[in-house]
Amino acid sequence: MTPRLVVAAPSSGAGKTTVATGLMAALRTRGLEVSPHKVGPDYIDPGYHALATGRPGRNLDPVMVGEDLVARLLLHGARGADVAVVEGVMGLFDGRAATDEGSTAHVARLLDAPVVLVLDAASMSRSVAALVQGFAQFDPRVRLGGVVLNRVGSDRHEALLREALDDVAPVLGVLRRDEAVASPSRHLGLIPAAERSAEAVTTVRRLGELCARALDLDALLDLARSAPPLRAQPWSPPVVQRPRRPIVAVAGGKAFTFSYAETAELLDAAGAHVVVVDPLRDTRVPEGTVGLVLGGGFPEVYAAQLSANAGLRSDVRRLAAAGAPISAECAGLLYLCEELDGLPMCGVLPAVGRMTDRLTLGYRTTADGLTGHEFHRTVIEPRAGTQSAYELDGAPEGWVQDGVHASYLHVHWASRPALAAAFVDRAVKALVPA
């Protein structure tokens, strides 16, 4: 049995992250082990979830990993946990294009998990009943277990809302307006928790205190425990035994916050010794490094600091020149370019990157059937090298150059575990002294 529930909303901006993160923190304060999850490809909310629970925030995305892996990945993350809390994405039934593929409802069905609907009730009274009734009846395969009312203005307002919902759905919590727990935004959404450090810890603590007061934690736990057993086995990364564990560095720190927890787990299981390198602070790659993974993040925000760290940029160039495997996604791609917004980067790829006003966002499927996600406001010129990383929509994208594989596409490696094994195989063969 894995008690679990999904926190959803009619639309973005209703308060899902506030309620989900606060609920996680409040349950942890009670002494429970809470497994945090996020529907979809988003990297930022899981950072706040990790602060709230002390466990890695994990993504559940059937578009990227396939339906069969969703329950297995939840069970993997929830090993040893008392309850799993899953934060939804967008509106409950909003999925890929005009379908519900990848939606919160899709994931709730795959997990056979009850849904808690967070409502922004600031401008509603009796109409809240019609809204909830519509969501409850829209898809009978999705079980609506109750609602949380957010941004309620007064005792009188709360009484009106509760009266309207009396015969429609249980009210599992009421949150008043509280700007003190708002999270600052940036051009791609919330600012990652790793970039806010102490401030983010304070925000999460306040969310936990708020939700401990405002939510019926006992009723929410009872709801989570009502979820039936899952007929799936927990996912585990394939294990490769090696006589020698090559050192693989994974970029971290404030500039490189976008990484799925399973990536490092897959590399470790494939026989690598995984270490973290911070391109803002570390002037050298770790001694003995023979492979480098550069994930996503916000390099455009830290371009000057990345450029100023000439020592690490030189080490990255040396690794690439020696043929060491380097996997780069989005921010990593930009870091490998000659320039970003006119500032020198690593110079591994003969390309330049720059910030734009245009948001590129959405799932992409390569010619060989791999589905990933793009999320950026930058471009690189040229878009692809002589040998491209992928073919997207009939056009080449990204770079394959010696041991480098670089692209804008974010990929969840759990969908293709062989990627990690192949990467570590190349690292073993490279035998590059750092």
Tens digits of residue pLDDT in 204-233: 999 999 999 999 999 999 999 999 999 999
Q: Which residues pair with 174 in a beta bridge?
A: 149
Whether residue 284 is contained in a domain is answered as: yes
Whether residue 232 is contained in a domain is answered as: no
> Which residue spans within 304-398 are E strands per DSSP?
326-329, 339-340, 343-344, 352-365, 371-381, 390-392, 395-397
pLDDT of residue 432: 46
Domain termination residue (choose one: 225, 259, 289): 225
pLDDT of residue 195: 64
Looking at residues 303-321, what average pLDDT do you find?
97
pLDDT of residue 430: 79
253 and 220 inside one domain: no
Spacing of C-alpha 260 from chain mean position: 6
Average pLDDT of the chain is: 94
368 and 287 inside one domain: yes
Angle between helices 261-269 and 418-430 (to 10 degrees): 60
- pLDDT at residue 188 greater than cutoff 70: no
Cα separation, 24 vs 52, whole angstroms: 6
264 and 170 inside one domain: no
Task: Determine the structural domain holding residue 133 and report its residue range.
Answer: 4-225
Whether residue 235 is contained in a domain is answered as: no
- pLDDT at residue 184 greater than cutoff 60: no
8 Å CB contact between 112 and 61: no
C-alpha distance from residue 68 to each of 65, 141, 290 (Å): 8, 18, 34
User: Residue 289 burial by CB count (10 A; 0-12/13-18/19+): exposed, middle or buried?
Assistant: buried
304 and 174 inside one domain: no
Please say whether the dihedral angle defined by the alpha carbons of residues 226, 232, 235 and 241, taken in this order, is positive or negative: positive
pLDDT of residue 387: 97
Name the DSSP letter for residue 235. P
276 and 214 inside one domain: no
Higher confidence at residue 182 or residue 198? Answer: 198
pLDDT of residue 193: 66
Whether residue 323 is contained in a domain is answered as: yes
pLDDT tens-digit series, residues 321-374: 999 999 999 999 999 999 999 999 999 999 999 999 998 899 999 999 999 999
Whether residue 238 is contained in a domain is answered as: no
Looking at residues 65-87, what average pLDDT do you find?
98
pLDDT of residue 190: 60
Domain termination residue (choose one: 159, 194, 225): 225
221 and 292 inside one domain: no
Dihedral pair phi/psi, residue 335, rounded to 5°: -65, -30
Min mean pLDDT across 174-188, 359-373, 417-431 is at 174-188
What's the number of domains the chain is made of?
Answer: 2
Min mean pLDDT across 83-87, 175-179, 403-407 is at 175-179
Looking at residues 304-316, what average pLDDT do you find?
98
C-alpha distance from residue 65 to each of 9, 78, 139, 363, 428 (Å): 23, 18, 24, 12, 27
131 and 161 inside one domain: yes
- pLDDT at residue 418 greater than cutoff 50: yes
CATH of the domain at 314: 3.40.50.880
- pLDDT at residue 23 greater than cutoff 80: yes
Contacts of 18 (CB under 8 A, 6+ apart): 118, 150, 175, 181, 207, 210
8 Å CB contact between 389 and 379: no
pLDDT of residue 199: 80
275 and 408 inside one domain: yes
Whether residue 48 is contained in a domain is answered as: yes
Helices in 150-235 by DSSP H: which ranges? 155-165, 193-196, 198-214, 217-225
Whether residue 241 is contained in a domain is answered as: no
- pLDDT at residue 187 greater than cutoff 50: no
pTM of the model: 0.94
- pLDDT at residue 59 greater than cutoff 70: yes
pLDDT tens-digit series, residues 280-297: 999 999 999 999 999 999
Confidence of residue 179 (pLDDT cuts 50, 70, 90): low
8 Å CB contact between 410 and 373: yes
8 Å CB contact between 124 and 131: yes
Q: Which of 211, 330, 337, 346 is catalytic?
A: 330
Confidence of residue 185 (pLDDT cuts 50, 70, 90): very low
pLDDT tens-digit series, residues 86-141: 999 999 999 998 899 999 999 999 999 999 999 999 999 999 999 999 999 999 99
Any catalytic annotation for residue 346? no
pLDDT tens-digit series, residues 132-160: 999 999 999 999 999 999 999 999 999 99
Q: What is the enclosing helix (H) or strand (E) of 151?
A: strand 144-152
Name the DSSP letter for residue 413. G
The encoded tokens of residue 246 equal: 């090559």
pLDDT of residue 434: 47
Q: In this prediction, what percent of the chain has a pLDDT beyond 70? A: 94
pLDDT of residue 194: 63
pLDDT of residue 138: 98
**Would you state the torsion angle of the CA atoms of residues 234, 240, 246, 252, taken in this order, to the nearest 10 degrees?**
-20
